[in-house]
């Protein structure tokens, strides 16, 4: 991770050199300007300063400074779960390391994780891919139930090899992290060698590793079915070292994992630049360069002396607040917002959102909020158009407002209120096709109860299917090749 928030920080060096050279040339010329230079009104020092600003702005813009929240939050979490037999040691507050790790994941996957996709891999003597990235959290929870440590993959834990394999499965420029849940006990390679290999792969892919360590750093017997005696010692400092060197960190026990993932997905936590969602702002460099060019023009001769204050003011206004601060009529703002919305540029649409003084502007503002999935603000905006009081808005605006309010209410999980909105629309404007369609499709009516005495419901088909799927998953995972190798489990 680079300490400077630039996409191409190396460009800052030549920029600095050119800026210094330009300033030096300007100063040198200022100390002994030619006769003609003074005659035509050129001022070399100011010219040098202006051109230095132009070059600085161009260089900064080319380096692309990055900041701000992600406009389209998303994150792929490649979960790597240690599946070696040492995870069976019961030294995590009375439960096994495996149980503690799967409980952590179970808790995470029982909560909504919007915009976050998870893949699942097992870390053994190599990496065993279990599920590709997806948002299907029930499937992930089910998969955890059929896995057991030591039963799948090669024996032992090879962090160097397995993490390199896990990294290879991540998309190159996708916003992603690796989440490792393990006891940190390397059994195949020397630890330094394994760490070197894993960190090299992680750094090359710019994939930060976040790790959670399980187990105590004291020797513990590993429960073994065939009576062989094995000893395991958890190595949390090894995981911490891996995480720190890759740009991630070791997570504390009890840390809110879901909140951390949301922060990463929304760009609130730093990510490596190649995977960062923070938007680049090269236009800031251009604004600086424009100011520099204005300074250079002012010092390049004596043109338009009487116009200079006015033009300077206009330029200053434009640079200080790019157009948003200009007192534009609401209709122009609405046009700009509508255009941005039509192009799918939600960020710009929100920036240009007109004040909701007129019904059409209120509808537009609500549409923008809906698109941004801000359902409650959209409802608040629509309230004057959807209420029962007088005066009523025009029929077209009323219909659009009621439809949008219904959609927002469905998203807010208030189907009854949404139904009321649509029914109100159908009462006021019978035959509204969109309202009829929405009533039929958006709100799924429950089937009427069967006549006669109520009997206990039979077992649902999805329970049987779930058992069948778990069995299939178990067979599928055990069918993975189990090559010889490793040290500890042999």
Partner 1 sequence: MNATLRFPLLLLLLLPGLWFTLRTSYRWGIPSSRPSGRAQRWSARWLPAVILALLVLAAAGPERRIPLKGRAPVVDFALVLDGSSSMKALDDGRESRWNAARRLILRFIAGRPNDRFALIQFSAHPVTLSPLTADHARLWTLLDHLQIESPDDGTAIGSALMTAVRRLQDSPARSRVILLLTDGAQNRGRVQPLEAAQEARDRGIKVYTVALGNAGEALYPLDGGGFAWLKVATDPDTLHRIAQATGGEAFLANDPVGLARSLAAISRLETTALPVDQPTEGRPMARWVLLAAGLLALPLALDLGRKRGRRPPAWLTQP
Q: Which of residues 438-457 bind partner 1 (CB under 8 A)?
A: 441, 444, 447
3-state secondary structure 195-261: HHHHHHHHHHCCCCEEEEECCCCCCEEECCCCCCCEEECCCHHHHHHHHHHHCCEECCCCCCHHHHH
Q: In this chain, which of 144, 260, 473, 488 binds partner 1, going by CB under 8 A?
A: 473
Residue 4 beta carbon to partner 1: minimum distance, rounded to whole angstroms: 17
Cα–Cα distance measured from residue 65 to residue 433, given in angstroms and rounded to the nearest whole number: 49
> In this chain, which stretch among 38-46, 158-166, 176-184, 225-233 interacts with partner 1, using CB under 8 A?
38-46
Distance in Å, CB of 228 to partner 1, minimum: 28
Scan for tokens 């069918």, then name that residue. 479
Question: Could you say whether residue 390 binds partner 1 (CB under 8 A)?
Answer: no
Q: Name the residue nearer to partner 1 (CB basis): 42 or 423.
A: 42
Q: What residue ranges in 372-480 does DSSP mark as E strands?
A: none
Check residue 9 for interaction with partner 1 (CB under 8 A). no
Distances (CA, A) of 143 to 7, 99, 120, 218: 39, 14, 9, 31
End-to-end CA distance of the chain: 39
Binding flag, residue 472, partner 1 (CB under 8 A) = yes
131: tokens are 């599920």
Which residues between 225 and 264 bind partner 1 (CB under 8 A)? none
Query: What residues between 333 and 362 interact with partner 1 by CB under 8 A?
Result: 336, 340, 343-348
Question: In angstroms, rounded to a whole number, what is the distance separating the alpha carbons of residues 125 and 485?
Answer: 7
- Near partner 1 by CB under 8 A, which window of 82-90, 102-110, 274-282, 398-406? 274-282
Stretch that binds partner 1, among 50-58, 180-188, 210-218, 232-240 (CB under 8 A): 50-58
Helix (H, G, I), strand (E, B) or coil at 126: coil
Q: Does 434 bind partner 1 (CB under 8 A)?
A: no
The region of 82-90, 95-103, 154-162, 313-321 touching partner 1 under the rule CB under 8 A is: 313-321
- The single residue among 12, 131, 274, 443 that binds partner 1, judged by CB under 8 A, is 131
Rounded to a whole number of angstroms, the minimum distance from the CB of residue 61 to partner 1 is 4
Nearer to partner 1 by C-beta: 242 or 370? Answer: 370
Q: Is 26 in the site for partner 1 (CB under 8 A)?
A: yes
The backbone torsions φ and ψ at residue 161, rounded to the nearest 5 degrees and listed phi first, read: -75, -50
Q: Given the structure tokens 């809110």, which residue do they identify?
A: 256
* Phi, psi (deg, nearest 5) at residue 215: 100, 165
For partner 1, the closer of residues 310 and 383 by Cβ is 310
484 binding partner 1? (CB under 8 A): no
Cα 68 from Cα 227, distance rounded (Å) = 57
Q: In this complex, which beta carbon is closest to partner 1, that of residue 142 or of residue 397?
A: 142
The whole-angstrom separation of Cα 157 and Cα 186 is 5
Least distance between partner 1 and beta carbon 308 (Å)? 9
Based on the shown chain and the rule CB under 8 A, indicate whether residue 363 belongs to the binding site for partner 1: no
61 binds partner 1 (CB under 8 A): yes
Phi, psi of 224 (to 5 degrees): -125, 135
Total residues belonging to the chain: 490
300: contact with partner 1 by CB under 8 A: yes
The Cα 13–Cα 30 span in angstroms is 26
Residue 287 touching partner 1 (CB under 8 A): yes
**Rule CB under 8 A: is residue 168 a binding residue for partner 1?**
no
Of residues 92 and 473, the one with the C-beta less far from partner 1: 473
| CA 359 to chain centroid | 35
Interface with partner 1 (CB under 8 A), residue from 28, 107, 173, 392: 28
Q: Which long-range contacts (CB under 8 A, 24 or more apart) does 404-407 make?
A: 404/363, 404/366, 404/367, 404/370, 404/378, 405/378, 405/379, 406/435, 406/438, 406/442, 407/370, 407/438, 407/442
Please pick, from the candidates 6, 51, 350, 421, the single residue that binds partner 1 as defined by CB under 8 A: 51
Total number of residues that touch partner 1 (CB under 8 A): 95
Binding span for partner 1 by CB under 8 A among 19-27, 92-100, 182-190, 227-235? 19-27
Tokens describing residue 397: 């605006």
Decide if residue 71 touches partner 1 (CB under 8 A). Answer: yes
Q: Find where tokens 């089937």 sit.
A: 447
């Amino acid at each position: 991770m680079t300490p400077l928030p630039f996409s191409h920080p190396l460009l800052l060096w030549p920029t600095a050199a050119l800026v210094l050279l330009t300033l030096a040339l300007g100063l040198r010329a200022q100390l002994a300007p030619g006769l003609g230079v003074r005659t035509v009104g050129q001022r070399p020092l100011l010219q040098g300063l202006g051109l230095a600003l132009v070059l600085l702005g161009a260089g900064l813009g080319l380096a692309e400074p990055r900041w701000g929240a992600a406009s389209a939050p998303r994150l792929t979490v490649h979960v790597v779960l240690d599946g070696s037999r040492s995870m069976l040691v019961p030294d995590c507050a009375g439960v096994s390391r495996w149980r503690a790790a799967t409980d952590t994941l179970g808790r995470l996957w029982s909560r909504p994780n919007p915009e976050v996709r998870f893949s699942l891999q097992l870390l053994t003597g190599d990496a065993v891919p279990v599920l590709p990235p997806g948002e299907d959290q029930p499937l992930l929870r089910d998969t955890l139930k059929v896995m057991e440590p030591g039963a799948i993959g090669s024996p032992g834990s090879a962090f160097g090899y397995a993490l390199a394999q896990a990294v290879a499965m991540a998309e190159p420029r996708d916003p992603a992290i690796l989440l490792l849940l393990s006891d940190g006990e390397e059994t195949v390679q020397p630890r330094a060698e394994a760490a070197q290999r894993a960190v090299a792969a992680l750094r090359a892919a710019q994939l930060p590793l976040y790790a959670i360590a399980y187990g105590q750093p004291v020797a513990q017997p590993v429960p073994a079915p065939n009576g062989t005696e094995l000893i395991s010692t958890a190595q949390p400092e090894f995981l911490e070292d891996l995480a720190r060197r890759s740009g991630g960190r070791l997570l504390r026990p009890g840390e809110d994992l879901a909140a951390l993932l949301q922060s990463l997905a929304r760009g609130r936590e730093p990510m490596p630049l190649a995977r960062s969602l923070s938007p680049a702002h090269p236009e800031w460099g251009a604004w600086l360069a424009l100011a520099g060019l204005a300074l250079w023009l002012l010092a390049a001769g004596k043109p338009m002396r009487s116009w200079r204050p006015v033009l300077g003011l206009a330029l200053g206004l434009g640079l200080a607040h790019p157009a948003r601060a200009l007192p534009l009529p609401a209709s122009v703002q609405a046009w700009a917002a509508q255009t941005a919305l039509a192009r799918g540029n939600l960020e710009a649409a929100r920036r240009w959102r007109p004040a909701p003084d007129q019904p059409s502007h209120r509808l537009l503002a609500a549409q923008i909020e809906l698109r941004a999935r801000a359902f409650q603000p959209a409802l608040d905006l629509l309230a004057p158009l959807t209420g029962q009081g007088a005066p009523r808005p025009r029929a077209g605006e009323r219909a659009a407002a009621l439809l949008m309010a219904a959609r927002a209410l469905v998203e807010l999980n208030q189907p009854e209120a949404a139904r009321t909105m649509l029914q109100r629309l159908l009462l006021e404007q019978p035959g509204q096709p969109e309202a009829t369609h929405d009533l039929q499709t958006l709100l799924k009516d429950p089937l009427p109860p069967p006549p006669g005495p109520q009997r206990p419901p039979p077992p649902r088909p999805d329970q049987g299917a779930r058992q069948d799927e778990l069995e299939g998953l178990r067979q599928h995972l055990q069918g993975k090749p189990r090559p010889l190798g490793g040290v500890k489990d042999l």
